[in-house]
Every structure is written in C-alpha cells, then in structure tokens.
Amino acid sequence: MTDIRAVRTDLSRIRRRGPLARFGEAVLRNLANLKVLLRYPSAIVGLTLMTVFILVAIFAPLIAPYGPFEVTYTAERAVIRLSAPSMNNLFGTTNQGMDVFSQLVWGSRVALMVGLLSALGSVLLGTLIGLFSGYFGGWIDEVLMRATDVAFGIPFLPFAMVVISIAQPSLGLVILLVIFFLWRTTARVIRSQVLSLKTRPFVWAAKAAGAGHMKILFLHIAPNVLPLSFLYVAIGVQTGVMLEAALSFLGFGDPHVQSWGIMLNAAFQAGAMRTAWWWVLPPGLALSAFVLSVFMITRAYEELLNPRLRSI
C-alpha cells in the first residue's frame, strides 16, 4: 500500500511541473553532464584558456590602461605613434598613437559577445527548424528544407559584405549575418537526428499515453538532441568569432568597436606588416588562441559524443 502511495505522489509531483520547467531541467541535466569533459586533457587546456579570456573580458576596465580608442601621449603632450613595446605601452602603439595592449584587452569583450550571441542564436534557430522539419515532415519539412537549401547556396563572406555595404556596418548586423549563415548546418543535423528519434518506441509510448505533438516534440525528442545542439554552440562560437574577424579584416566591421579583426584591418591598411610587428601579432595571436581553445573543447566534446573518433 505504502509503495503505491509513494508512486502516486511521485507521479503527481511530475505532473505539477509545467512542460517548460521540465524542458529546462533537461537542459540543466545536459549541462551538468559536461563535467565529463574534464577527463580530456585537451578540454582542460581549452577550458583554461577560455577562462583566461572570460576573466580578461570581465575585468577589461581594470586590466586595460587605456580606452579602446584613447590616444596616448608622452609627458610633452606629443602623440606616441608607432612606438615599439615599452613600459608605458606594453605592446607598443598604433600609427594613431593608440595602445595595442588595451585594444587587445577590449577586443576580448567583442569576441566573447559575438561568439556567444551568434552561437546561441544560430543554434536556437537551427534546432527549432530541425525539430519541426524532422518531426512534422510533409509540407512543413519541404518548406523548411528548401529554405535551408537556399541558405546553403549563398556564399557567406561575399553575401555579408554586400549586405553590410548596403546597410550600415554595425556589430548587431554582423551577428545577425553570422546567425543567418550558421543555422543551416545545425538544422540539417538536428533534422536527421529527429527523423531517427521519432520512430523509437518511447515516442510511440508517449503518443499512446495521449501526449500532444508539442509535448512529444519538446519533452521527449528535444532533450535527446540537446547534446548535438551543445556541440553546435561550441562550433558556432568558433565560427562566429572567425567570421567577425574576417569581415572586420576586410573592412566591413563596426567602426565603433575595437575587435581583433578591426585591429588587424587597421594594421594591414597602415602597412604595419613591414614596420610594426607588435601591432600585427597580438590581435592575430589572440584570435588564433581563442579559436584554438574553443576548438579543443569542441574536439573533446565530439569524441565524447562519437566514440569512433576516439582514436588519436
């Protein structure tokens, strides 16, 4: 008797929580599972590097001696142009007398923001499209997948350059464009996963128990594709930062923020590759280190999800 009562109260507790809360729990459970990543040495290196970047971004105002566009002067009020690294300017200055080290520090904020927003946005969009497309099939699938085909047919960098030069360059637009570019892969991958998931017995069981489409989709299928979505968040951070840097380097970045790509563009335009290595190397190396750290985390996570890769 007591047993049955216990089960009953348990059941009612489950029912009382709303579907949204239950979906949220699935997300948290998957996040908690990421602890396993710490068993991979490459993930530890990547996470350590990423922590450094995050700390630098958070404490940027304390670390950076100057503002991102602040011109530095000597005691005689002369602009310090193209000075090599010194005690005053750790990584030297640009041709306009701005402090390279400070720009680098401020740039980490832009990189993190672009990476996170574009990754989350694209994965949210891609996952939703993949879920609906795969689960409902029929004309919904047809429409969504043809849209994906069109998105795949557009070469990203050229397209983004045209859009930016028609509109005004801004960081928000760059992030939107990156999202527009990234969702397509996530959508296709999630869709094929859903196609296989929806034939599994637990979905029949849910249907037999009288669950509606939305309930099946978000409570039974979505939690199972979450690990894949997380993987694409990581890949998205990497690609997003790279694409922003590439666009900025080509001169299509937001002129009001100081990102690593914009620093590289300014250095390239000023011919610093000949004269001022201290201006070129820091943003390039920071970008490479950032991308590499995400990549190491991604790689470990991929191995976790797909043991067949685990041969290195």
**Helices (H), ranges, 216-307:** 222-249, 260-269, 272-275, 277-305
Q: Is 45 in the site for another protein (CB under 8 A)?
A: no
Handedness of CA 247, 128, 238, 311 (dihedral sign): negative
Q: Is 287 in the site for another protein (CB under 8 A)?
A: yes
Q: Is 245 in the site for another protein (CB under 8 A)?
A: yes
Q: Per-residue x/- marks for another protein, 111-150, CB under 8 A? A: -----------------------------------x--xx
Q: Is 250 in the site for another protein (CB under 8 A)?
A: yes
Q: Is 50 in the site for another protein (CB under 8 A)?
A: no
Which lies closer to another protein via its Cβ, residue 8 or residue 146? 146
DSSP 4-65: HHHHHHHHHHHHHS-HHHHHHHHHHHHHHHGGGGGGSHHHHHHHHHHHHHHHHHHTHHHH-S
Q: Is 154 in the site for another protein (CB under 8 A)?
A: yes
Give phi and psi for 93, each to the nearest 5: -130, 165
Which lies closer to another protein via its Cβ, residue 166 or residue 208? 166
3-state helix, strand, coil in the chain (%, to 5): 75, 0, 20
CA distance 95 to 101: 14
Q: Is 187 in the site for another protein (CB under 8 A)?
A: no
Q: Is 152 in the site for another protein (CB under 8 A)?
A: yes
Which lies closer to another protein via its Cβ, residue 179 or residue 203? 179
Q: Is 173 in the site for another protein (CB under 8 A)?
A: no
Which lies closer to another protein via its Cβ, residue 103 or residue 127? 103
Size of the site for another protein (CB under 8 A): 39
Burial of residue 7, with CB atoms counted within 10 A of its CB: 0-12 exposed, 13-18 middle, 19 or more buried: exposed
Which positions touch another protein (CB under 8 A)? 146, 149-150, 152-159, 161-163, 165-167, 238, 242, 245-246, 249-251, 264, 268, 273-274, 277, 280, 284, 287-288, 291-292, 295, 299, 311-312
